[in-house]
Amino acid sequence: MRTTLINILTFLLLLVIVTSCSRKKNSFVSRNLHAVGTEYNVLYNGDLALQAGLDELEATYNEDYWDILPVERMQLKQEVFLPGQKPANPNFERAEEKAVKAVQKHSIFVNEEEFNPQVDDAYLLLGKARYYDQRFVPALEAFNYILQFMPESDQLNQAKIWRERTNMRLENNETAIINLTKLLKEESEIIENEDLANANATLSQAFLNLEQIDSALIYMNRAANLTKNKETIARYKFIAGQLFAKAGQRDSAFVKFDQIIEMHRKVPRRYYVHSFIEKIKLFDNSTDSEVLLLETLNDLEENRENRPWLDHIYSRKAIYFENRDSLNDAVTYYNLSLRAKGGTDQYLRGNNYSALGKISFNQNKYAAAGKYYDSAMVSYVERSPEHRLVKKKRDNLEDVILYEERRRSADSIFNVLDMSTDQQIAYYNEYIAKLKAEEERLAKLAEVEALKEAQNQNAFQTIQNNKTTKRGNAGPAFGPIGGAPSTPTLSGTPTFYFYNPQTVARGKQDFRRKWGKRKLENNWRRKNKKDDGGGEIVIEEDEALVEEEVRPEFTPEFYIDQLPEGMSVLDSIASARNFAYYQLGVIYKEKFKRNDLAISRLENLIAFEPAEKLLLPGLYNLYLIYNESGAFAKADTYKSRIINEFPDTRYAQILLNPDAKIEDNASPSAVYKRLYKEYEKGNYEIVVTNVERYVTLFNGDPIVPRLELLKAFAAGRLYGFKEYKRGIDFVALNFPNTEVGKSAQKLVLEAEKLKIAEAFMPEQGLSDFKLIYRIEKTNYQKLEQLKDQLEKAIEQEKYGFTVSVDVYNPQENLIVVHGLTSKLGSRGLGDFMANPSNGFNISDTAIPIATENYKIIQVYKSLDDYEKEML
């Protein structure tokens, strides 16, 4: 009976407990049971998963010490997360699942209020998991839920701080600043230190995002003083040091970095090493000791604990040597930085390559500089300021590399041609000796590498055999029982003997020296062998060595025979060399501001006595360089030569009238447009005359090369092909670094390829003719009358011809009838227009001409010659 009563009471108690655990009832038992289940089961595992995800996030984060470090070690992703998309990190996914489970199974939400004291932790965990997985809008919803429905929560301040961190990630920095400032003002006395440090650091980051350095500094210093976590202290102090440096407060920055250095092993090594590096970046020659700086760099380099940061240390040491003109040491350390193991800083690699490019350029090693700049562009982020700057340098080098190679090649050819035969032989023998030495070096290197590979294979085989022995395999350790150790197979390595052509070539020579020329056949080593003719090849053991076969490239004659011959070939090489020297002079002067190199190239050009089209601009550019640098006596020498030897040129006119001014208030662009319209109307003389006036007024303006090219086209239409070619040559030579100048260079090449014969074509059998009349430009009335009469006759007789007025030269225009099919028919039309009985009575001479010959007379302005020869 008693047992039955106990069972009934137990059942009733369990029933009460079960009913009390309902999530719909706010009771003492329900609250505490759900709270215990939430904290010690679900949330515990969720917190573990969150920490694991956070550790993974920080471990994969690449710190950018070239910019102010962010408060959080979290790399923002570029992808846009869609609603309902799962977390990318499985740890954050698990943390989120645990948080959701805690809410779904243990929330006691009654009358718009939450009564389970652990559910706020669940929502905080949910928000953090979403935040670190960079789904910031859902994270904001979780934090806002705590603030809206759990006003008594002990996590309220944390939720406020995390909400503002999320707002900041959503670029609502101003909102975050307002809310955090209010929180710190009203609740700072009751917020725990770590939360207070977190709030100050977040506020500092918000100010930093808005580039308000002074405000960011205030709150970052506070955050560093509030936290107790050594790693966090180091990070906050490091950021504060960077902010002081950016604000120009060098001494304050040193204080922060020194505080980190003093903590030494109490903080992560990365902050310790980079504090030294940041101090080195702030080195001041006027106040700091160079000896101490070098000692610091040496200590950092020699400390084995600093190996992961050797790329940064080597690079700073390279900069130290470069600033002191120890360029060989600088190059060594830049290369060490590039080869340092574990170096992942692409920006640093870009800086190293860029610095090596600059050094190579200053040493006139332009091809090497170009390669370094290519590597720098690959290392920098595309379209970043650094990438654009290096790309510009590389593009500028394109022409330098091209013309320097042409210059060197031509100079080398002429230097050798100036030598006697004996000197040429000695010169090439010296070159051949270097060639052989390099080939020998490569061959020995290949043999050493092959030997190393064989040794490695033997060592590997020994290890494998030892492992087999230890495992007690049934098979023998060294091949067949009682046999010798098995020979390792050497394969798959690029240093194998027969993979190296130099080694193979030397082996062939050694074989021929000892055995002579032998066929690939059986018994090839026999002393006596029958040859194909039945005779015997006898090789005695003490027989003299067979003479070694010499490769052609190892003989001076091989190179001497390739030297160019003939005046036309040498003139062509000299012309290309002179053009290269001129282009280099202008490029160094205008693009690189290297007057020393510009003077060297241009004065060499003048010494070669080039054609006038290069000599004149070369002299003029030398005058400009010396005049601008204050070497007036030297400038006057070149000025006098231009004026005395070339008085009728534009260069002489510019030098004689340097202060000439033109009253014109129009902008350069407006002037160009106006002149271009005149060109379209056929008013070529107006274009030529006005361009000559305006280039003086707009001297130095980017519009000048465009005006000069327009003038070249107009002059060509007025004066013919030779004047056109002279004009585009002028633009190409005087503005080689502009887009217009490069276009002119292409036009020059096309003009040189264009073969328009000056001799007139025989017109018998041709079927395309014109009839032309010569009219003075000033006789406008006659020109219009003649054109009207021709058009009227064509319309009246229904000929189907067309009439145009073409410019011929500054004195004459041509009225041209197009569409005639024979010379006889052209004459007939001329006679018809001259006969008064037809109602026209045109007395001017009508000239029938084939269309092909019309092109010639327009190109060479040779209508007078045509009338003498063909009519």
List, for residues 561-606, the tens digit of each pLDDT value.
888 887 888 888 888 899 899 889 988 888 788 899 999 999 999 9
Q: Quick one: pLDDT at residue 268?
A: 92
Lowest mean pLDDT among 69-83, 245-259, 778-792: 69-83
Please report the pLDDT score of residue 644 as a whole number: 93
Average pLDDT over residues 277-302: 92
Supply the pLDDT for residue 6. Answer: 58
Does the domain at residues 769-870 carry the CATH identifier 3.30.70?
Answer: yes
Using alpha carbons, select from 615, 605, 598 the residue that is nearest to residue 574.
605
567/564 Cα distance (integer angstroms): 9
Q: Which one is predicted more confidently, 760 or 694?
A: 760
Instruction: Determine if residue 543 is left, alpha or beta; phi over 0 gives left, psi from -120 to 50 gives alpha, anything else beta.
Output: beta
Question: What is residue 511's predicted lDDT score, i.e. its pLDDT?
Answer: 64
What are residue 109's DSSP bridge partners? Answer: 114
Copy the structure tokens of residue 666.
Answer: 């129009």
At 661, the pLDDT band (50, 70, 90 cuts) reads very low
Q: Which of 219-223, 569-573, 840-844 has the highest mean pLDDT?
A: 219-223
What is residue 349's predicted lDDT score, i.e. its pLDDT?
94
pLDDT band of residue 167 (cuts 50, 70, 90) is very high
* pLDDT tens string 30-69: 444 444 444 446 678 888 888 888 888 888 888 889 999 9
The whole-number average pLDDT for the span 793-822 is: 88
Give the confidence band of 358 by pLDDT, cuts at 50, 70, 90.
very high
Distance in angstroms (rounded) separating the CA atoms of residues 813 and 810: 8
DSSP 508-564: HHHHHHHH-S--SSTTTT-SEEE-TTS-EEE--TTPPPPPPPPPGGGSHHHHHTTS-
Q: What is the mean pLDDT of residues 180-203?
A: 88
Structure confidence at residue 77 (pLDDT): 75
Percentage of the chain surpassing pLDDT 90? 32
- Rounded (10°) angle between helices 28-37 and 90-106: 170
Nearest to 492 by CA among 456, 530, 544, 517: 456
Q: What angle do CA 265, 266, 267 make, to 5 degrees?
A: 90
C-beta of residue 860 within 8 angstroms of C-beta of residue 759: no
Which of 136, 127, 104 is CA-nearest to residue 38? 104
Give the mean pLDDT of the chain. Answer: 81
Is the pLDDT reported for residue 91 higher than 90? no
Residue 496 Rama label (left phi>0; alpha psi -120 to 50; beta): beta
pLDDT of residue 493: 42
User: Residue 78: what pLDDT?
Assistant: 62
Section 185-210 average pLDDT: 89
In this prediction, residue 422 carries a pLDDT of 87
User: Do residues 206 and 177 touch, judged by C-beta distance below 8 A?
Assistant: yes
> How would you class 811 by CB atoms within 10 Å of its CB: exposed for 0-12, middle for 13-18, buried for 19 or more?
exposed
Residue 280 pLDDT: 94
CB count, 10 Å around CB of 221?
Answer: 20
Q: Count Cβ neighbours within 10 Å for each residue of 153-178 and write b for 16 or more, e otherwise.
A: bebebbbbbbbbbbbbbeebbeebbe
Count Cα neighbours of 126 within 13 Å in the Cβ-side half-sphere: 25
Choice among 321-325, 486-490, 494-498, 567-571 with the minimum mean pLDDT: 486-490
The phi, psi pair for 300, rounded to 5°, reads -65, -40
Lowest mean pLDDT among 198-207, 276-285, 460-469, 587-596: 460-469
| Domains 668-753 and 769-870 equal at CATH topology level | no
Rounded CA gap, 299 and 297, in Å? 5
What average pLDDT score do residues 658-682 get? 75
Across the range 697-711, mean pLDDT stands at 83
- CA-CA distance, 615 to 647, in Å (whole number)? 14
In this predicted structure, which of 159-168, 300-309, 420-429, 469-478 has the lowest mean pLDDT?
A: 469-478
pTM: 0.60
DSSP code for 19: H
Domain boundary assignment for the chain: 567-656, 668-753, 769-870
Report pLDDT for 481.
29
Give Cβ neighbours of residue 417 (< 8 Å, ≥ 6 apart): 563, 564, 570
- The CATH-assigned architecture of domain 668-753 is Alpha Horseshoe (1.25)
Spatial distance between the Cα atoms of 396 and 589, rounded to a whole number of angstroms: 12
Three-state secondary structure call for residue 501: helix
Query: What pLDDT score was predicted for residue 88?
Result: 66
